[in-house]
Amino acid sequence: MSALTIAIERYQLENGLKVVFSPDKTVPVAAVNLWYGVGSRNEPAGKTGFAHLFEHMMFQGSAHVPKNKHFELIEGVGGTLNASTWFDRTNYFDTVPSHDLELALWLESDRMGWMLPAMDQEKLDNQRDVVKNEKRQRYDNQPYGDWGERLQALIYPEGHPYYHTVIGSMEDLDAATLEDVASFFSTYYVPNNAVLTVAGDVDPDQALDLVQRYFGEIEPGDAIPPLPGDPDVEPRIGTTVRDQVISEVPLPRVIMAFRIPPYSSPDFAVAEVSRALLGMGRASRLYDGLVRERRIAKSVVSYVYPLLSGASMFLVWGTGYPETDIEELENAISEEIGGLVDAAQREVDRAIALTETDLVHTLERVAQRADLLSMFELYFDDPARLNTELDRLRDVTVEQIRSFSADMLGTDNRAVLTYEPKGRP
């Protein structure tokens, strides 16, 4: 297939807001996507979970938009919307029929510029309850629900920006105040800390006029303060660290993770391809070896976290059968990872072929296109990276995979988290 040619135009408003357009007239859809450069890594001790709670507050209205009106108006034109908070960023996205682009820009600009007048204690208390229920539903009431929290604490030292989870702790959520909302807003929700991408059936000139009209008068904020924690860590953990859990889980599970260079590092592409060899698709090493051949795992997962601060994470896991021996499963995973020192070119070709299909699939939706463009603009000042993303992975050589696995995926840089069903003989 020929190289990707997603249309991209970049601008910056005087207040610092970075703007990316990606016109595509083939669908009657406009995606409005905002990335703010704030996430759980910006939370100091005692305020974990606040970036996410704040994201909820952004839907509680602004000076000209009453509570719930944002959802009501977007749904009322047949649009969809949501937001998410992660370690390094918070994103907000509205997808609307393209003739309602202006509505989405009005709503997003109103909360970027005029959120605070609409805040009150009742709304904060309500959304605190909602978020606490989100935490219960997604983590506390789920088998294996605490795996992320446990794993982060193994990979990162206390005080590191990724030591704590995005959802945070109940105590810290309880402690959040309206003053916290106000100071978080004026510190981080400023145009000079945001990227706005508009993709789909839009005319960039007209869209730029609208963006200027709605966002142009929002005052810039001060420079973003440094992270509260210390992102500098050794490149490797230095040993194998372990956490063994016996709890109400249906099946044994071994989670193995490694500290790897951050997303900005050239080596990150090597990690991405290595993880694809291990766990992407059913011809991958872990699936073929553990699931199909040895039948000691029901399923396998591999993932690399695209994280910015200090170090990222390389993760694999295997979920066993009721009778699977944890140690045997762990050893089998280690063997497959160790086997990467013999990685072959045809495996790389397979991984690249699958990655290409998946990327084109992602780009079928303008909302996802916009999300990637916002990310590349915010993280790397380079939205055009979207069009060269596959080349970055294609350039990875077998030799690089072999040396990366030998250097970074060994027992001196390893976290092992295991879950075993309670009451198992």
**Per CB under 8 A, which of residues 363..382 are in contact with another protein?**
363-366
Dihedral of CA atoms 290, 291, 295, 297 in degrees, nearest 10, equals 80
Strand residues in 66-207 grouped as ranges (E):
80-85, 90-97, 194-200
**Contact criterion met (CB below 8 Å) for 50 and 184:** yes
Smallest distance from the beta carbon of 205 to another protein, in angstroms? 14
Report if residue 86 touches another protein, rule: CB under 8 A: no
Spatial neighbors of 243 by CB under 8 A, at least 6 apart, are 150, 151, 153, 154, 415, 416, 417, 418
Smallest distance from the beta carbon of 264 to another protein, in angstroms? 28
Rounded to whole angstroms, how far apart are CA atoms 101 and 419? Answer: 48
Smallest distance from the beta carbon of 281 to another protein, in angstroms? 5
Report if residue 142 touches another protein, rule: CB under 8 A: yes
11, 15, 86, 134: which one contacts another protein (CB under 8 A)? 134
**How many residues sit close enough to another protein to count as binding (CB under 8 A)?**
86
Report if residue 97 touches another protein, rule: CB under 8 A: yes
Report if residue 68 touches another protein, rule: CB under 8 A: yes
Pairing of strands 194-200, 18-23: parallel
Report if residue 236 touches another protein, rule: CB under 8 A: no
Rounded to whole angstroms, how far apart are CA atoms 163 and 41? Answer: 9
Q: Which of 267, 268, 282 is nearest to 350 (CA)?
A: 282
Report if residue 129 touches another protein, rule: CB under 8 A: yes
- 97: which strand partners? 29
Smallest distance from the beta carbon of 364 to another protein, in angstroms? 4
Query: Rule CB under 8 A: which of 266-295 touch another protein?
Result: 281-283, 287-288, 291-292, 295
Smallest distance from the beta carbon of 225 to another protein, in angstroms? 27
Q: Give whichever of 122 and 381 is closer to another protein, judged by the CB atom.
A: 122
Q: Give whichever of 213 and 242 is closer to another protein, judged by the CB atom.
A: 213
Report if residue 166 touches another protein, rule: CB under 8 A: no
Report if residue 77 touches another protein, rule: CB under 8 A: yes
Query: Rule CB under 8 A: which of 27-46 touch another protein?
Result: 27-29
Six-digit token string for 50: 């606040």
Q: What does the per-residue mask of binding to another protein show for 309-328, with x meaning CB under 8 A?
A: ----------x-xx------
- 260: which strand partners? 312
Report if residue 130 touches another protein, rule: CB under 8 A: yes
Helical axes 268-279 vs 385-394, angle rounded to 10°: 70
